[in-house]
C-alpha cells in the first residue's frame, strides 16, 4: 500500500478495535491540503471563473472573450476537475477570494484609466 495524503506518503496501515490507522512516512510539516488556486488555474480559467461569478452565461462569456461556447464549456470542465467541484456555485465558492482580488484589480485599473483620461 502506498498512497499520498496531506501528511505525506502512506506506507502501511493497521487496525485496533475496529479502528483503522495509517502509517505515514515522517516529514517536517504536513502538506497544504488546500493548494494555492492562483497556481492551479490558468489566467484564462480565472477569467472565466470571474465572469461566471458576476453572472455571465456561457454564451455571454464566449462573446466577451471572442471564443466559442464549446471552448468555454471545456474550460469550465477543466476548472471543475482541478477544484473537485460539480457546479458553478461550488466553483465560485472555492475561488471566492481569488475572484474578489481579480474584481478589485479590474476596478482599480478602470479607475486609473478614467483618471488618466481626465488629465
Supply the pTM of this predicted model: 0.60
Q: Which domains does the chain have, with CATH numbers?
A: 1-33 (no CATH), 37-118 (1.10.10.10)
Q: Yes or no: say if 10 and 22 are a contact pair by the CB < 8 Å rule.
A: yes
pLDDT at 29: 57
**Among 14-18, 55-59, 74-78, which stretch is predicted with the lowest mean pLDDT?**
14-18
Mean pLDDT computed over 38-43: 88
Amino acid at each position: 500500500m502506498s498512497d499520498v495524503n496531506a501528511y505525506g506518503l502512506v506506507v502501511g496501515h493497521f487496525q485496533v478495535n475496529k479502528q483503522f490507522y495509517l502509517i505515514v512516512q515522517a516529514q517536517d510539516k504536513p502538506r497544504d491540503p488546500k493548494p494555492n488556486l492562483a497556481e492551479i488555474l490558468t489566467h484564462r480559467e480565472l477569467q472565466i471563473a470571474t465572469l461566471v461569478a458576476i453572472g455571465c452565461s456561457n454564451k455571454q462569456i464566449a462573446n466577451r472573450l471572442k471564443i466559442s461556447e464549446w471552448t468555454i464549456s471545456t474550460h469550465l470542465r477543466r476548472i471543475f476537475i482541478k477544484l473537485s467541484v460539480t457546479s458553478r456555485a461550488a466553483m465560485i465558492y472555492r475561488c471566492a477570494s481569488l475572484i474578489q482580488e481579480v474584481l478589485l484589480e479590474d476596478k482599480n485599473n478602470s479607475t486609473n484609466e478614467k483618471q488618466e483620461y481626465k488629465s
